[in-house]
Structure 1
Amino acid sequence: MAKRKGEMISMMPEINNMVRFVYKASSQNLLGIRNILLTKTRGTATLNSFFLGYFPKQLKMEIARNGSLIAAESGMTLSYGLANAQDRGSMFIGPGVQVYEGMVVGVSTREKDIEINVCKAKQLTNNRSAGEGVSVQLKPPIALSLEQALDFINDDEVLEVTPLNLRIRKRYLSSLQRRLMERKIRDS
């Protein structure tokens, strides 16, 4: 909770070897904490929150996160393109999903954003080789909840919420616009 700028108010022992922690923290910094706590405690943690009032704006938490995997072109995702992208990080989408340029399709294993072509099809040739007909094994995509998606986005990303989907995309969709804005921010 220190990374999330939470102030510990009390820590009390409870029955069954449990401990109750009471923190005071801003709602903005609590986004995503429920899933993290449940994962780390294997479902044994209980999290309750309530509104204390309005306070001066607190510092936003600075949590380092890896870069995004960004769709380089619009189209339908294909297994071949996703298999190549899987080597660079974890995916948020599976095959057969409509994507557009600038859409975040996964999280990278590196710090920087990486543009990838998830719509890439396997090249068809008349030449045959051994092992060519091997099927592609894809890891299941990570399904983000609304809270996880809000916790995930950076300042240069926005969240699109529709009745059927949650999509994260870059604020500037085209690669050229993103590079121009990065240069403009770096120079100022």
Structure 2
Amino acid sequence: MTDLPPALHLENRRQLPEDLRFLVRRYPRETWGSHANLDEMAQFWLQRHDMFRELGGMLRRGVDDYREGRLPPASFAQWFAPRLRFFLQQLHGHHQVEDLHYFPVFARAEPRLQRGFDILDSDHHIIHEALERNGERARELLLALRQDADRQRFAADAYAEENVRLVAMLARHLDDEEDLVIPLMLERGEDGFAG
């Protein structure tokens, strides 16, 4: 993990630094869908990111439904546990593949983006810690569902706060990662990466 200035920390930044955005300026988001080099790998990457966004939103809405009394505790637990487990496992696995394979390959293909991949790697460490906190708050919530209403409410509030924080960090990270990776894939094409 790289030491970053505070402005580049995941929870502080609004986008990647301008010097890392040269490819996304050449290939703005609105052109991605119609670009000839939007191959299977780039489409899969975007689909996985959309899945993480969707699951994070589903978990937030599910907790809101429980907190507002629209979902009884037993039904909530049955709905919540498998979705949370899938979300946490898939996100962890996705980051491992990126860190161990894709980011090194991409950085070799375009060395000017190395600092961007260092930033994303730093994000992964921060997100991993947030995933652990999220999992712990979720365990506490599931245990509290068998206790009195005050404990349920306290645990649901604690989980909701952690979930909002995680989803916000994840949204920033996914956008920044796409701004590095997708334009690079469009620039090189799927066959343009050795590694």
Considering the TM-score relative to the shorter chain, is it more than 0.5? no
Q: TM-score range by the shorter chain?
A: under 0.3
Structure whose residues are more often helix by fraction: 2
Structure whose residues are more often strand by fraction: 1
Q: Structure with the greater relative contact order (CA < 8 A, sep ≥ 6): 1 or 2? A: 2
Say which one has the larger Rg.
1
